Structure 1
Amino acid sequence: MAKIKHNNLLDTVVSVMTNAKESGAIHLYAEGDYMNGRQVQIKGKKLFHFGTTGYLGLEQDERLKQGAIEAIQNYGTEFPLSKSYISHPLYAELESLMTEIYGHPIVITKNSTLGHFGVIPSVVNDGDGVILDHQVHWSLQSAVAPLKLRSVPVEMIRHNNLDMLEDKIKKLQSRCQKIWYMADGMYSMFGDYAPIEELMMLCDKYPQLHIYFDDVHGMSWKGKHGSGYVMSILKKLPDRVILFGTMSKTFGASGAVMVCKDKEIQQRVKNFGGPLTFSVQLEPGSVGAAIASAKIHLSDEIYTLQDELSKRISYFNQCLSQTDLPIIVDNDSPVFYIGAGMPETGFNLMSRLMRLGFYVNIGFFPAVPVKNTGMRITISRHNQKEEIKALTDALAEEFPKALEETGTTLERINFAFGKRTKPTHRSKVRSSKLNLQSFSSITEIETELWNTTVGKNGFYDWNGLRDLEKIMSDQKYREHNNQFYYFVVKDENQKCVFATFVSFGIWKEDMLAPQSVSIALEKIRKDKPYYHTSTCLCLGSMITEGDHLYLCEGSPYWKEAFNLFLDQLEKLEKRLNAQYVILRDFPTKNESIKSFLHKKGFVQVAMPESAVYSNFKWNTQEEYINTLSKRSRKHYRDDIEAYRDQVEIQIQQNLSKTELDKSFQLYQAVKANNIGLNTFSYPYALFEHMNSSPQWEFISLYLKDTERTLAGVMFCYKNSNAIYAPAIVGMDYNYARTYNVYRQLLFQTILRAKDLSQSRIDFGLTAGFEKRKVGAKIVEKCAYIQARDNFALEALDWLRKD
């Protein structure tokens, strides 16, 4: 089994956030001796604050401050004891007030994250199932993860996709007692809402369906007594709904609150709710502030505060309506999202706004898809009309400049967000010294140009791609058909600065996922062969491996050349409706490429390591063995030399129909046993072509038994640049381990390349451990990916947790 490194979502997130930090967008520190909510000081500069989640501004209310002060003076800074034993004196009053706000049983929690960790395992039983909206808050998703250890099925749907939700309900209803759908009431990035009324209709249709709402961003600024957005729609809490609100945002204090209609559930959570049982309770100061806020919520004043905020929201909407800014969701919530598209555009615009005296949040991966970076602007009662108008004017003035400076357009941003509008701003061509040419076939490109740039690798020299174009067309199955596109950028002296090719086809979304994920998916694909597959625009192709891109990084124009290509790639993506764009097989340690592509909206993911061999400074087999390390020489003696008398090696230019069929079967066996790099199988037409092409040959390993069994075959390509590419391997697993067939084939590949006077062997991806034993150099590889949304990434991550 090939040993490959799999991607961990956390690794990808850390990489992206590091880039955001370096750009000055996150991990900032507020300064100053006091705060008033209207402004925040960062790096010595006072900025108007449009990033708060305290929409009503209650965190600066003198009554809340005084409530906290008095509580601390009377009861100390904390009450260090679990609530399971004793609650400090103010808790009873707060619980009474919160019960009055919601009109139903409640449980106070330290915060919403700990609340979810306490409540979800308590209310979801082993016989239940869970369905998540893929944009539901991270804290809730984290609390659901441990349920997998109890064999609770967890499914995920695309954001607010009720058709998909109903399909999942039907899938689970025969094996689950209760089906919990978990969603936000108001979503924190775009400020959009859950379709509450439609969800209640589904509850009527499916008695097993229960709803778990995280309404922490809808709290206080909406609803009777500030009970939140969900309650503003529901009016009364249904039997099968659990609601979470928070006192840590608009409420102005700390803590969170669970609300349910079922007294039995409330007592179950209160009696044994994990961290709610064992964690220290809210500090007296937090409870004192919360009590003061609750009294405001239970008075008519809350409606005055809500109305004041509503007027500011309406005014901002009015100001924005007079601009061309891409507002992603139109609604009446205090959260606005201005699309920027690429991260570098978002970072650029944020920097411009801060220089002009405005602070806004930036939305970026993984909170939003990588090309959905944007300005997350929040409105609060602290914001006055003059600075709201000034922010709008600044956005209208600086947004086109940010587009210009980062080489993008409003049209591209709208496409990234799935919006269709006429282009307004266009980026200027910064230099006339480069010329990009695009082609639909390798036959349109000069052979020498290609073979001295991209074609110096693998089996995608000019001849190889000419044949691949024919093979990957007019095939029976969708996955065996590709469209090829070629790009060449030359400078003013007609020197090639950039060259590459891309292909368009269907890929498995779990190609780089852990083996366990692919095994689970392949079971489903027996009935649904295209389950979790997507159309992909990929550097290189599904079949090829290696350096698919020629880039003259020594040229002062390499970034501009790359930009020209990315612009054309986006047009292709739009025309072909590709769901993924993958730039693959880059050296992991190339920091300049990494930084460049991160800013262009690509997320780096690990790929299986590659291997090359080029140490041909030996003449005899004995001399070659001596080039190996001491440990590798032992492996040679134990795993290769020990079986030499039991196998026969043949170099074959052509195979009989019987031999070719058998070789294809051996390839399929390897494919089935190496699901770690999960791709579609190659078409039989490729192997037929190998058998007729002078550039392909077969290293066949036969057993010296009575039947002369074919136990292994290496399918090798002779590149026009003296590069040997053992591109595909086939093995009979009845004999693979007994005779160390794979190591035998690797060894014979090196001997054959030497006989042919080849300068390098491109061993390709996976099995680096095995290739290292025969002297190959291991090269860490990565890919850079863009996706329309994060659904597949997050859904597969849930499968990984099984």
Structure 2
Amino acid sequence: MAKVKHNNFLDTVDEVITNATNAGVIHLHAEGDELNGRRITVNGKSLYHFGTTGYLGLEQDKRLKNAAINAIQKYGTQFPLSKTYISHPLYAPLEEKIFKMYEHPILITKNSTLGHLAVIPTAVREGDAVILDHQVHWSVQSATEVLKSKGVTVRMIRHSNMEMLEHYIKDLRNKVNKIWYMADGVYSMYGDFAPLQDLIELSQKYPQLHLYIDDVHGMSWRGKHGSGYVMSVLKKLPQNILLFGTLSKTFGASGAVLVCPDKKLHRKIKNFGGPLTFSAQLEPASVAAAIASADIHLSPEIYDLQSDLELKINYFNELLELTDLPLVHKNDSPVFYIGTGLPATGYNFVSKMMNAGFFVNLGLFPAVPVKNTGVRITISRHNELIDIKALVDAMSYYFPLAMEETYTNVSKIHHSFGIQKTEIKKVRDSKIDELNLECTTTIQQIDKEEWDTCFSGKGTFDWDGLNFIEKVFTNNNLPEHNWGFYYITIKDKEGKMVLAVSLTSALLKNDMLSNVKTSKIIEEMREEDPYYMTDIVLSSGSVFSEGAHLYLDSKHSLHLQSMRLFLDKLDQIKTQVGAKLIIIRDFEKTNSLNTFLHEQGFISIDMPDACELTNLYWNDEDEYLKSLSKRSKKHFRKEVKAFENYFTLSVVKNPTPAQVDYYYSLFEQVWSNNLGINTFKFPKKLFIEMGKDPKWEFLVLSLKVEVKNSDNAMGVMFCTNSGDTYIPSLIGMDYDQNEKFNIYRQLLYKTILRANALGFSKIDLGLSASFEKRKLGATLIQKLAYVQADDNFSLEALDWLRKD
């Protein structure tokens, strides 16, 4: 029944990236006639380069350059033929040298992305399962998508969460053959390492476990012969591990390398590995450069290069320890991440660093959660010690300025990343001192007239509505039926209301707005664990209310300061209740706060369209029909009017317990058939309280006795009102009879008639089934919610379930 419009993830990413591009911190262009690794020119300004992934600087080595030039002179710019048929003369020498580095069978691929596309669908067979680390590189995740068509189960765990990994292994081990865990050796954002020893112990405990490790960021700067971080830890590669390295990045050339100890699997991948079979091979220049680099890796020189880089990494770490800069993960890799928390702070800081003469990379959504925006700094051999010292001095100077200008502080950033540090005095906008914030946990402590001035007529969250909701969703047996309530008001020094909002903290399903297919999969899992993929969520309004829950006087000179004050309080409450997610809803698609909220660490998601009917100024059916389009009139006569005489409508107030029980059973049918908005089932207490409350009434639709020998209700609309607005809040129906008698459409029409008869000027028809409501005259209004999550795990895990 309910056709729900779901958020387009690409649209969200596009908006975030566009904001960063407009801020001038990404999608930049290097300029100049040459590059030397130490400096890079951007917008006419020469900057010290702290953004490369060529950690050893080999891409500028004369030996690699000369080898590439000579190869072009001898063999041409490319060898346009699949390597399956014949490889150009330089391939065999390269493969021999890379084999010496790893001492295991290897395959050279065009790049790591195509390599994963070649290897993963060949290595993972029907009857296997895959478990992805949440932060494994996009290229691995993308290659895994093709497995879905084979029926391969794919799951995702929180980053390096070995307890969660073991849970999935136990769940899958009797259902599948091999279980592949896919992870990075060195993670590209924070520079942290895969817990390799833990993974080896797990694979010994569970022989089905196989490991697929992408070690492209660990290559060259660690390990014997520069074979990478994973090899530096494991020394020898077990049969149950597939390892990817790169000939790009630190290796200084192009291409990637698969290391495969299983000779039989190695042959299968070589014989038919997708892009290995059908794609062009590496160009002679790239292979020649890789041979020159391999010679360096196989010589003692590689250890001198590694030591030189290690010295610079250690020096950078020593300097950082003398600062208050929020380093997210201390390690001895060449990748460092300085957290800024808010995107606005990240944009500001990167801009300041570029103006000061330093190029650093911005880390932003979706590579990291929006509120975990930061600056990724990479150390390479190109950087001199004097450059590193200058970088730290500049960061120490400009970081506090960036925080001050974006109204944040180190303590707040520590909180965003879960870093345990001493509290630091907050940076405040001085104008905030002109505002007074009050927060209470019951509507009883809020002046009714003052509250209703902001919210009357907007939904079930006027004073009476909230008093009703508080009564229902407290003192219940199940955790999902016990909510926390918070009411925030912000006034200026004259006592004028600038901002008001009602909030609830409640246990919600992560898939609440996912597609039906995803929710069906998760509901099957909830048969064993009813609280699987659920979290405490702090939201404006509640799952029982719809509408503009946030009142903001946008014309007030302090409205943005009020929003900052509100968001600070929101974060405090979130910590207090242990919420994983903040949701601020329901905003119209075009609103003045969009950019502001993005800069404060929120992403926008599309909600189902709101449906409102305002043309209630008619006296009879003919006048009502005049308000409908020609097509809607035809629909009305065929699908609504034609069934009207089958029914009787009664308005029930003060229902008996037996009636409440039956109406509740009709509601349960709708709830169980409507996964489009997947919520926990409301308790019967809600409907009992509706029957007692004078603002609620039940519109009960029954088939006439001559149509069906029964006086049982076929449908019921649970309605209330606020101001001049009539609100059909929930619905119950006999699903077995709906298709035959068009019960849903009849209930909608009878609700419209009832609202008109009572003299209301507007009907709030809610968020779902917009197509049906539009045909009866409703206006559709596009709505957004703004979301801030502790991490992207739930979003991405749900996406994988959707693809099952």
Q: If the TM-score is normalised by the length of the shorter chain, which range does it land in?
A: over 0.9
Q: Which residue of 2 aligns with 1:487?
A: 488
Distance of 2:755 and 2:229 partners within structure 1: 69
Q: Which residue of 2 aligns with 1:395?
A: 395
Q: Which residue of 2 aligns with 1:750?
A: 752
Q: Which residue of 1 aligns with 2:537?
A: 536
Where does 1:139-154 land on structure 2 (aligned, <5 Å)? 139-154=139-154
Q: Which residue of 1 aligns with 2:670?
A: 670
Range 755-764 or range 102-111, more displaced: 755-764
2:772 is aligned, of 765, 770, 773, to 770
Structure 1 counterpart of 2:109, one-letter code: T
Q: Which residue of 2 aligns with 1:501?
A: 502
Q: Which residue of 1 aligns with 2:183?
A: 183
Q: Which residue of 2 aligns with 1:162?
A: 162
Q: Which residue of 1 aligns with 2:239?
A: 239
Distance of 2:252 and 2:310 partners within structure 1: 18
> Matched residue of 1:547: which SS?
coil
Mapped contact 2:408–2:428 kept (Cα < 8 A): no
Where does 1:723-734 land on structure 2 (aligned, <5 Å)? 723-734=725-736
Distance of 1:182 and 1:526 partners within structure 2: 28
2:719 is aligned, of 709, 716, 719, to 716
Distance of 2:425 and 2:279 partners within structure 1: 54
Distance of 1:409 and 1:499 partners within structure 2: 25
> Deviation per CA, 1:23-48, whole angstroms, max 9, x where unpaired?
22211111111111111111111111
Asked if 1:603 is matched to 2:603, the reply is yes
Q: Which residue of 2 aligns with 1:788?
A: 790
Q: Which residue of 2 aligns with 1:561?
A: 562
Q: Which residue of 2 aligns with 1:580?
A: 581
> Matched residue of 2:671: which SS?
helix
Distance of 1:203 and 1:375 partners within structure 2: 35
Asked if 1:3 is matched to 2:14, the reply is no
Distance of 2:91 and 2:429 partners within structure 1: 65
Structure 1 counterpart of 2:554, one-letter code: E
> Matched residue of 2:544: which SS?
coil
> Deviation per CA, 1:341-394, whole angstroms, max 9, x where unpaired?
111111111111111011111111111111111110000001111111111111
Where does 1:151-550 land on structure 2 (aligned, <5 Å)? 151-431=151-431, 432-550=433-551
Mapped contact 1:9–1:797 kept (Cα < 8 A): no
Distance of 2:635 and 2:711 partners within structure 1: 26
> Matched residue of 1:735: which SS?
helix
Which residues of structure 1 form unaligned runs of 5+?
none
> Matched residue of 1:257: which SS?
strand
Mapped contact 1:252–1:289 kept (Cα < 8 A): yes
Mapped contact 1:129–1:178 kept (Cα < 8 A): yes
Mapped contact 2:503–2:542 kept (Cα < 8 A): yes
**CA shift at 1:425, angstroms?**
4.8
Mapped contact 1:404–1:426 kept (Cα < 8 A): no
> Deviation per CA, 1:649-695, whole angstroms, max 9, x where unpaired?
11222222222111111111111111111011111111111101110
**CA shift at 1:709, angstroms?**
2.8
Distance of 1:509 and 1:593 partners within structure 2: 25
Q: Which residue of 2 aligns with 1:81?
A: 81
Distance of 1:14 and 1:276 partners within structure 2: 32
Range 12-21 or range 270-279, more displaced: 12-21
CA RMSD of aligned residues (A): 1.1
> Deviation per CA, 1:605-645, whole angstroms, max 9, x where unpaired?
11111111111232222101111101111111011111111
**CA shift at 1:492, angstroms?**
3.0
Percent sequence identity is: 54
TM-score, normalised by the number of residues in structure 2: 0.98
> Matched residue of 1:456: which SS?
coil
Structure 2 counterpart of 1:647, one-letter code: F
> Matched residue of 2:360: which SS?
strand
Distance of 1:455 and 1:561 partners within structure 2: 22
Structure 1 counterpart of 2:515, one-letter code: P
Mapped contact 2:429–2:561 kept (Cα < 8 A): no
Structure 2 counterpart of 1:127, one-letter code: G
Structure 2 counterpart of 1:776, one-letter code: A
Distance of 1:556 and 1:120 partners within structure 2: 57
> Deviation per CA, 1:117-163, whole angstroms, max 9, x where unpaired?
00011111112111111110010011111111111111211111111
> Matched residue of 1:712: which SS?
strand
> Matched residue of 1:250: which SS?
helix
Distance of 1:640 and 1:122 partners within structure 2: 56
Q: Which residue of 2 aligns with 1:18?
A: 18
Which residues of structure 2 form unaligned runs of 5+?
none
> Deviation per CA, 1:105-126, whole angstroms, max 9, x where unpaired?
1000000000000001111111
Distance of 2:644 and 2:198 partners within structure 1: 70
What stretches of structure 1 move > 3 A for 4+ residues in a row?
A: none
Aligned length in residues: 800
> Matched residue of 2:116: which SS?
helix
Q: Which residue of 1 aligns with 2:803?
A: 801
TM-score, normalised by the number of residues in structure 1: 0.99
Range 483-492 or range 244-253, more displaced: 483-492
Mapped contact 1:409–1:423 kept (Cα < 8 A): no
Structure 1 counterpart of 2:446, one-letter code: I
Where does 1:46-57 land on structure 2 (aligned, <5 Å)? 46-57=46-57
Structure 2 counterpart of 1:725, one-letter code: I
Q: Which residue of 2 aligns with 1:127?
A: 127
**CA shift at 1:554, angstroms?**
1.8
Mapped contact 2:360–2:377 kept (Cα < 8 A): yes
Mapped contact 2:502–2:540 kept (Cα < 8 A): yes
> Matched residue of 2:514: which SS?
coil
> Deviation per CA, 1:523-582, whole angstroms, max 9, x where unpaired?
121221101000111111121111111111122221111111000000111111111111
Distance of 1:556 and 1:544 partners within structure 2: 30
Distance of 1:751 and 1:702 partners within structure 2: 16
> Deviation per CA, 1:685-724, whole angstroms, max 9, x where unpaired?
11111101110111111100321231111111121x1211
Structure 1 counterpart of 2:718, one-letter code: F
Structure 2 counterpart of 1:711, one-letter code: M
Range 444-453 or range 186-195, more displaced: 444-453
> Deviation per CA, 1:401-453, whole angstroms, max 9, x where unpaired?
11111111211111111112112352123213322221211111111111111
**CA shift at 1:512, angstroms?**
0.7
**CA shift at 1:760, angstroms?**
1.2
Distance of 1:645 and 1:218 partners within structure 2: 74
> Deviation per CA, 1:196-241, whole angstroms, max 9, x where unpaired?
1121111211111111110000000000110000000011111111
Range 278-287 or range 705-714, more displaced: 705-714
Structure 1 counterpart of 2:117, one-letter code: F
Where does 1:686-697 land on structure 2 (aligned, <5 Å)? 686-697=686-697
Structure 2 counterpart of 1:140, one-letter code: V
Distance of 1:485 and 1:791 partners within structure 2: 27
Distance of 1:127 and 1:509 partners within structure 2: 28
Distance of 2:33 and 2:132 partners within structure 1: 43
**CA shift at 1:169, angstroms?**
1.1
Mapped contact 1:454–1:500 kept (Cα < 8 A): no
> Matched residue of 1:572: which SS?
helix
Mapped contact 1:112–1:244 kept (Cα < 8 A): yes
Distance of 1:371 and 1:43 partners within structure 2: 28
Q: Which residue of 2 aligns with 1:69?
A: 69
> Matched residue of 1:452: which SS?
helix
